Amino acid sequence: MNKSISLFFLFFVILACARPQREGVDFDAWGEYWFQGQAEISSYDLTQYRYGEPREGEAVLIFVTEDFSRSKQVKLDNPDAVGRDKLSVIKMNQTRDFITGIYPYHMMLSAFTPTREASQGVKFTASSQEWCGQSFTQVNLNSGDSYSGELFSYFEEEGDKSFSVSGLAEDDLWNLIRINPNQIPTGSVQMWPSLVNQRFTHEEFEAEEAFVRLTNSSNNRRQLEVTYGSGNRELRIDFEKEFPYPILGWEEIRTLENGEKEVTRARRKAVKVIDYWTRNALEDEFLRDELKLNP
């Protein structure tokens, strides 16, 4: 009897600790591409609107899977030693480089989304560097769709501040596409705009109603479209229909108060799957040519 009770208690504990898993994703096939110890790097020609004018530049998307700490929300140094604190995530690093007149902008966005577990993104960061100064934003998932964040900025009005926000992160959508587009909620969604967009607008971190839809743009392409209820922002991401759903380009449309539209566009130049972190010698610089990256 005691043994049966112990087994029942153990089974109950296992069930209680189990976390919901994503449905409709073949993780055996998914892992053959994403759990191979390499990253996917794509380069893009970028037209970035800034200060009322289009600026030519370059964007890069890097997607890679990592073992993440649930408690610390950082990449684990020794994932085999932490037990259930280990969380598999797909990470997107997005960089944007462009020139405004005499001085350059260097921007980077990172998004960390659980792969197998049915959870929203657990962490988002963004940094911006230009000759006037630099800023950094970090947003961490607390539970459900509730996030807490911090902004460090050289602007007096923003200063160093803490904030909270709830809803789906726009920056989560890129990773959800790569996991499987069926993971994206469609229709009316409470969503907060990209951290990169917030760096341009300096608006408060607030969720608003957005309409999300997926459409077929050709026989082998799909498009994710996000339209915010305020009417001042649209996002369109183009990607291939078939796994691994590579991203071909995107558009961001900002509608000004006078009705004028500022359209930022990115179109893919090249793609490569590689363990880039081991290719840091002078002799590896030819790989930049293969990715058609600017000097």
Q: What is the pLDDT of residue 11?
A: 39
Q: Is the pLDDT score of 9 beyond 90?
A: no
Average pLDDT, the chain: 93
12 is a domain residue: no
pLDDT tens, position by position, 44-57: 999 999 999 999 99
160-167 LR contacts (CB < 8 Å, sep 24+) = 163/204, 163/205, 165/139, 165/192, 165/205, 165/206, 165/207, 166/190, 166/207, 167/191, 167/192, 167/207
6 is a domain residue: no
pTM, two decimals, is: 0.92
Pairing state of beta strands 187-192 and 168-169? parallel
d(CA 293, CA 64): 19
- Give the best-scoring range by mean pLDDT among 11-25, 113-127, 153-167: 113-127
Q: Which domain holds residue 29?
A: 21-290
Q: Is the pLDDT score of 155 beyond 60?
A: yes
End-to-end C-alpha distance for the chain, whole angstroms: 72
With b for 16 or more beta-carbon neighbours within 10 A and e for fewer, the 257-271 pattern comes to eeeeebebbbebbeb
Mean pLDDT of 23-33: 95
110 is a domain residue: yes
8 is a domain residue: no
Percent of the chain residues topping a pLDDT of 90: 90
Total domains present in the chain: 1
14 is a domain residue: no
Tokens of 96: 């944007």
Least confident piece of the model among 114-118, 155-159, 169-173: 155-159
Q: What is the pLDDT of residue 1?
A: 44
Chain Cα centroid distance, residue 199:
15
pLDDT tens, position by position, 216-257: 989 999 999 999 999 999 999 999 999 999 999 999 999 999
Q: What is the pLDDT of residue 292?
A: 98
Mean pLDDT of 196-203: 95
